[in-house]
Amino acid sequence: MKALLLVDESQDKIAIRDIDKPTPKEGEVLIQIKAAALNHRDQWCRIGMYPGLKYNTVLGSDGAGIVTEIGEGVDPIWLNKEVIINPNINWGDNEAAQSIDYHILGMPTNGTFAEYVVVNADRLCNKPSHLDFSEAAALPLGGVTAYRATFTKGQICKGQKVLVTGIGGGVAQFAFQFALAAGAEVFVTSGSQEKLDQLIARGAAGGFIYKEEDWAKNALKSTGGFDVIIDSAGGSSMNDYLRLVKPGGKLVHYGSTTGAPKNLDMFRLFWSQASIHGSTMGSDKEFNEMVDFVSANNIKPILSSTRDFDQIVSAFDEMHAGDQMGKLVVSF
């Protein structure tokens, strides 16, 4: 079967290879992948910036397909089902944080960038009926990450003012859609006016170009501040967020793409009674809640493009360039 591997002998560090089709063991299922979606962790693996790299591993955490074989002990009801895959592996029993053995499908465990993948049957979830395979493939990792940040950590509810930063990313777009569905008034930031315009057309109350020097001052003046800010950048923007968050508000961070801040306005932090929450992926419980929420609110992932699997290296290159608006999907 065809699969995209992380390799050490190629300049691209990723390559499509023919490998053996896996066979499900006890408690496992074989899924014929119909569509798979890229995440930033896939590109980080490609450029050597992800921990525990293992060459000749099939990359990919997001996928949707059809169960074609089941191993011993698996409920036959799953056979021929259209499914999405929960990419969590070994989250553990603590809802507050993942276990020390936690990892994500696609590194070091073979992932979804292949014609077939084997996973434990408890990783299966019925594909939401309102989504096609490409849309469903875009949902798992970004969806559960956004759900945890939005509801578990941010506790966003109807009537609140929410700021979601860096709206070009998949998690940010899910957080925007989830907060909007919950009845919040949602604002967004981007380095691109075109991206802001697209999100305003989808229901955002307003947007700000974070590259502009006075963007935070203008945002505070026009909105009065935010109850919750959801961010993946960190870095020097942290003090901007502390100026923008309302007294008693929450800053939720699910990434640090610009690194740590050179300094942090601790006086403003404690005086505002604000709280900073770290967030990652979500638990299995949150994954199931997220899928139910998406189905109940008829939410569809925003797709930047869908291309044939043979063109997957070009999708990686597009992600590296950072110009996409929505999830990058490949189909089989």
**Residue pLDDT, tens place only, 141-152:** 999 999 999 999
Q: Give the mean pLDDT of 34-46.
A: 95
Residues 185 and 108 in one domain: no
Residue pair 272/247 in contact (Cβ under 8 Å)? The answer is: yes
| Residue 33 is assigned to a structural domain of this protein | yes
Residues 156 and 271 in one domain: yes
Residue 92 backbone phi and psi in degrees, to 5: 100, -175
Q: Give the mean pLDDT of 165-170.
A: 90
Query: What distance in Å separates the CA atoms of residue 197 and residue 202, rounded to the nearest whole number?
Result: 9
Q: Is 161 exposed, middle or buried (0-12, 13-18, 19+ CB in 10 A)?
A: buried
Residues 251 and 310 in one domain: no
Residue with the larger pLDDT of the pair 265 and 24:
24
Q: Which residues share a beta bridge with 28?
A: 120
pLDDT in tens, 190-201: 999 999 999 999
Q: Which domain holds residue 13?
A: 2-139+301-331
pLDDT for the residue 70: 98
258 has pLDDT over 80 = no
Query: What distance in Å separates the CA atoms of residue 209 and residue 125, rounded to the nearest whole number?
Result: 38
Residues 323 and 209 in one domain: no
| Residue 244 is assigned to a structural domain of this protein | yes
| Residue 290 is assigned to a structural domain of this protein | no
Residues 7 and 131 in one domain: yes
245 has pLDDT over 90 = yes
Q: Give the mean pLDDT of 265-285.
A: 92
Residues 189 and 272 in one domain: yes
pLDDT in tens, 213-234: 899 999 999 999 999 999 988 8
Residues 152 and 125 in one domain: no
As for how many domains the chain has, the answer is 2
256 has pLDDT over 80 = no
- Specify the CATH number for the domain of residue 194: 3.40.50.720
Q: Give the mean pLDDT of 22-29.
A: 98
| Residue 292 is assigned to a structural domain of this protein | no
Instruction: Please name the helix (run of DSSP H) or strand (run of DSSP E) that holds residue 89, with its range, or none.
Output: strand 88-89
119 has pLDDT over 90 = yes
Place of tokens 């009537």: 159
The CA distances from residue 274 to 147, 151, 261, 271, in Å, are: 21, 17, 17, 8
Residues 206 and 311 in one domain: no
Residues 252 and 198 in one domain: yes
Question: DSSP of 286-318, one letter per residue?
Answer: HHHHHHHHHHHTT--PPEEEEEEGGGHHHHHHH
pLDDT for the residue 157: 97
Q: Give the mean pLDDT of 106-118.
A: 97
Which phi-psi region, left, alpha or beta, contains residue 203 (left: φ > 0; alpha: ψ -120 to 50)?
left
Query: What distance in Å separates the CA atoms of residue 111 and residue 117, rounded to the nearest whole number?
Result: 7
Sequence letter at residue 129 = S
pLDDT in tens, 174-217: 999 999 999 999 999 999 999 999 999 999 999 999 999 899 99
Residues 78 and 102 in one domain: yes
Mean pLDDT for all residues in the chain: 95
